[in-house]
Structure 1
Amino acid sequence: MAARRVTAAELRGQCSAGACWLLRGNKVYDVSGFVKLHPGGEGLLQDRAGTDIQRDLDGPPHRHSENALRWLEQYYVGELEAAEQEDTAQQHLRERVKQYEPAKSHPSSTSGVQFKTFNPETDLVDWEKPLLWQVGHLREKYDEWVHQPVDRPIRLFQSDFVEWCSKTAWYIVLSVWSPVVLYLTWYCLSELSRGDTRLFASFTKDYSIPVPVFVFFPLFFIGMMVWSLMEYGIHRYIFHMNPPANNYFLITLHFMLHGQHHKAPFDSSRLVFPPIPASFVIVPLYVILQILLPPVLGLSLFVGGLFGYVAYDMTHYYLHYGSPPKGSYLSWLKSYHVRHHFEHQKTGFGITSTIWDRPFNTLIPEDAIKDY
């Protein structure tokens, strides 16, 4: 199938109309749908609309990974007319991108992305069918496949109802858990302000220690830190477990828990954790703390941890869909997390911070954070 030919006039017209079309040698890409998601900020791509970005892809300052180059090919439009090219010296650049030639595709109904038509002889999965029951058959090919991200929605289940239940909008997490955090915070402060909370009162009536109200705040902070450690541990050891190639069940479980997020990192419906499955972790933690500590003290720790979880989910969503100010901590953290998705999948497990990546030696090197 011959590539579509794009004239310089069409390229200029699209950019003048507000689209963001880019060149890579003589290849034309429509990245309009990705502008706001780019880790370098939307202005970075908008400023380069209609220009050749090959030097920007090679760096410095930002060398783009092979996964990032594969990602770009999803926005392929066609070839710039040879007579329209600005500089014939760019011919050598085209030779370097042949390995990323786009497959035959049909236009997406949702964005500028072009989705491949399923070819059973070459494709590993059929995107028109639920993926959850297919991925276990990839066996030794699964790890490489799941870490090559694509910009398209994923369907996990055949049942429309079950599929709907597996998706969650970011504001659902806020609407469910934020009132719980606020109420429990008020309750703990109210109980502690009464002055009748004492340590060791259940062991002896002769000696006990009164607990002042300000103790809530360090307990709340400790709860947040405990959650951050859990966040790191869950992400590293459960979400990034390496399922055996011959274990269909573990591959399927991994894909359901986290693999689908690495395959489609900008699927907004699966960036936060649904409240019902989350409660299977949250409720047992609440019960354990109530057993181990005086009720209001255990509750103070719990509410700090719950707040940490909500902050984690919201931060994770923002790192994928937000546009933090350039030079800010969140801008750096967004670049750090994008690097985890596109090249350093075995390191960089911190989401809200890198506090645990440092002591456990899983920090993405500073020079690597500059690459995408």
Structure 2
Amino acid sequence: MTRLKMLIHHNSIPVMLCAVAIGVGLLLWHGPVWAWGFVLLGIPAQMLNEYGLHRYIFHLDPPRQQWAFNLLYQAHYGHHDFPTNTRLFFAPIWVSVPMLVLNFALVWGVLSLIVPAYALPIAAAIVLVGGVSTFLGYEWFHMTAHLNVRKTRVERHVTTLHNQHHFRDFSKWFHVSPGGEIIDRTMGTAINRDSLRNQQRIEFIRTLGMRPDDPRLIKARHHYADKYRLSANEIERAARA
């Protein structure tokens, strides 16, 4: 119940739950029965979206401009910097909602050219129901991976792989959703057991290769100190890590 409460209280989750409800409503109101089958297509589509966003956007090389650095810090760098801060577990609403709108508009637009009569229900099935439900699952498993709680076998497996991303090599294991490791293996961003035995922990792992006292990091920590309740001691320790 604690995890569920933590999840629901993040500001983007109610929006995403509403998106799923709207998608179900559109399918019931305007969709043929066979359109429900496209919900399954939304699962791998969102997993690819999760991987691409995490690898190619959230792990961009640190920008020189402080404003751009701050955006990436709030989106993801800060989560690596303070991996146990619960307020940094979830995707910011300014990332998740625009991505939802963009994905829906793109899928709907393409389908409108191919099957205009069924574009809306199919897009609702793929993006609003299948995709957003998968995103909610991602948020659950990601949150769970960072909490010291009793876990299911699947949750333990996800935690093991995700810990390698955080504390062994941040250029590997970009997936979080169960089954997403297929994408990492296909894309060459997995760590196999033999490699893991010899894999050294990357220097400055929690700051994605940057020195912990990098001026951009220091400014970002202070900028978000109140929002994420970072104490002066936490900020000081992070700069010395």
User: Structures share a fold, TM > 0.5?
Assistant: yes
Say whether 1:313 aligns with 2:139. yes
CA change 1:250–1:178 in 2 (3 A) is closer
Question: Any conservation in 1 of the 2:74–2:92 contact (CA below 8 Å)?
Answer: no
Give the corresponding residue for 1:278. 96
Distance 1:266 1:360, change over 3 A: same
Report what 2:187 is aligned to. 360
Match of 2:77 in 1: 259
Q: Is residue 191 from structure 1 mapped to residue 30 from structure 2 by the alignment?
A: yes
Q: Given that residues 141 and 158 in structure 2 are in contact (C-alpha distance below 8 angstroms), is that contact kept between their aligned partners in structure 1?
A: no
CA distance in structure 1 between the aligned counterparts of 2:151 and 2:76, rounded to whole angstroms: 28
Q: In structure 1, which of residues 175, 178, 201 is the aligned counterpart of residue 14 of structure 2?
A: 175
Runs of at least 4 residues off by over 6 Å: none
Per-residue Cα deviation, 1:253-289 (whole angstroms, up to 9, x for no partner): 4323211100000100121124354212211222222
Work out which of the residue numbers 164, 168, 173 in structure 2 matches 1:343: 168
349 and 276 in structure 1: CA distance in 2 versus 1, 3 angstrom threshold = closer
Q: Deviations over 1:47-104 (max 9, x none)?
A: xxxxxxxxxxxxxxxxxxxxxxxxxxxxxxxxxxxxxxxxxxxxxxxxxxxxxxxxxx
Are the aligned partners of 1:272 and 1:314 in contact in 2 as well (CA < 8 Å)? no
Aligned AA (1:320): H
One-letter code of the match for 1:215? A
- Percent identical across equivalent pairs? 23
Asked if 2 retains the 8 angstrom alpha-carbon contact of 1:224 and 1:308, the reply is: yes
Match of 1:216 in 2: 36
Secondary structure of 1:273's match? coil
Hey, what's the Cα distance between the residues in 2 that align with 1:331 and 1:225? 21
Structure 2 residue runs of 5 or longer lacking an equivalent are 1-5, 112-118, 202-241
Q: Which amino acid aligns with 1:330?
A: E
Q: How many residues align?
A: 183
Which residue number corresponds to residue 228 of structure 1? 47
Long gaps (5+) in structure 1 = 1-168, 194-212
Structure 2 CA distance for aligned equivalents of residues 264 and 175 of structure 1: 25
Question: Structure 2: how far apart are the matches of 1:329 and 1:277?
Answer: 27
Which of 61, 80, 84 pairs up with 1:242? 61
More strand by share: 1
CA contact (8 A) 1:324 1:330 kept: no
Q: CA RMSD in A?
A: 2.7
> What is the rounded CA distance, in whole Å, between the counterparts of 1:242 and 1:277 in structure 2?
18
Q: Hey, what's the Cα distance between the residues in 2 that align with 1:249 and 1:365? A: 37
Q: Which has the larger radius of gyration?
A: 1
Answer whether contact 2:27 2:121 (CA < 8 A) is retained: yes
* TM value normalised by structure 2: 0.66
**1:269, 1:171 → 2: CA distance?**
12
Structure 1 residues 253 and 276 mapped into 2: Cα distance closer, same or farther (>3 Å)?
A: closer
C-alpha displacement at 1:228, in angstroms? 0.5
Contact 2:181 2:190 in 1 (8 A): yes
> Structure 1 length normalisation: TM-score?
0.44
- How far 1:187 sits from its partner (Å)? 2.7
Over residues 227-251 of structure 1, what are the superposed CA-to-partner deviations in whole Å (9 max), with x where a residue is unaligned?
110100111111111226x554543
Task: Determine the C-alpha separation between the residues in 1 that align with 2:83 and 2:36.
Answer: 37
Question: Where does residue 268 of structure 1 map in the other structure?
Answer: 86
CA contact (8 A) 2:35 2:121 kept: no
Q: Which residue pairs with 1:41 in the alignment?
A: none
User: For residues 360 and 321 of structure 1, do their structure 2 counterparts lie closer, same or farther at Cα, with a shift above 3 Å needed?
Assistant: same
3-state SS of 1:333 partner? helix
How far off is 1:342 after superposition?
A: 0.9
1:334-361 Cα deviation digits (max 9, x unpaired): 0111121112111110111312101001
Which position in structure 2 is the counterpart of 1:61? none
Higher helix content, 1 or 2:
2
Aligned to 2:233: none
Q: Say which of 122, 144, 148 aligns to 1:297.
A: 122
User: How far apart in 1 are the matches of 2:22 and 2:140?
Assistant: 19
